[in-house]
Amino acid sequence: MMSELISARVEETHISDFSVSIEVSGHRLSGDEPESQGGLNLAPSPYDYLTAALGECTAMTVRWYARQKNWPLQDVRVELTHERVAGHVSGKADIFRKSVTILGEQLSDEQRQRLHDIAAKCPVHKTLTGGAFIETLSEPADY
């Protein structure tokens, strides 16, 4: 079994009721909730990051595949929405919609279609549609 471990640390900053400092893979980010949820909208919310992660992964996966095939992809753009819907006909509460634009004048129709198919195969897409196991541990305070 292959495994990839990603570590993150999230701590409250107390700048707003929900503001946090995030450290992941050597990068520093901030998070907050919108004003409508009691935050100050100082940074992206968790769902903002999740939506962006899906778009980022989609664009990178399409680019990677085109590069592997040596196809003349000029640009890939992904626009997304995330909606939390109670009682949706699909039975799901979270609806993500992706619009993928593939640019490349020299791409054939078959190549363009294949890249659109690949857009649904990025790892984050698979995680969101396949489910994930989340284990929550309780750690003693060190203060």
Nearest in space to 40 (alpha carbons), one of 17, 20, 22, 21: 17
- DSSP secondary structure letter of residue 53: H
In the chain, domain spans: 7-44, 45-131
Residue 141: what pLDDT? 76
pLDDT recorded at residue 1: 67
* Element spanning 68, H or E: helix 46-69
pTM of the entire predicted model? 0.89
pLDDT, position 55: 98
pLDDT, residue 139, reads: 84
Predicted local confidence at residue 90, as pLDDT: 66
Yes or no: is domain 45-131 CATH 3.40.50.300?
no
Output the DSSP codes for 80-99. EEEEE-TT-TTS-SEEEEEE
pLDDT at 143: 66
Give the long-range contacts of residues 137-143, CB within 8 A, separation 24 or more: none
- pLDDT, one tens digit for every residue, the chain (143 residues): 678 899 999 999 999 999 999 999 999 999 999 999 999 999 999 999 999 999 999 999 999 999 999 999 999 999 999 998 877 666 668 899 999 999 999 999 999 999 999 999 999 999 999 988 889 999 887 76
Q: Look at residue 88 in the predicted model and tell me its pLDDT.
A: 63
Nearest Cα neighbor of 49 from 14, 77, 10, 87 is 10
The rounded distance, in Å, linking the Cα atoms of 6 and 26 is 11
Tell me how far apart the alpha carbons of residues 15 and 9 are, in angstroms, rounded to a whole number: 18
Report the distance separating Cα 61 and Cα 115, nearest Å.
Answer: 9
Q: Determine contact, residues 28/43, Cβ cutoff 8 Å.
A: no
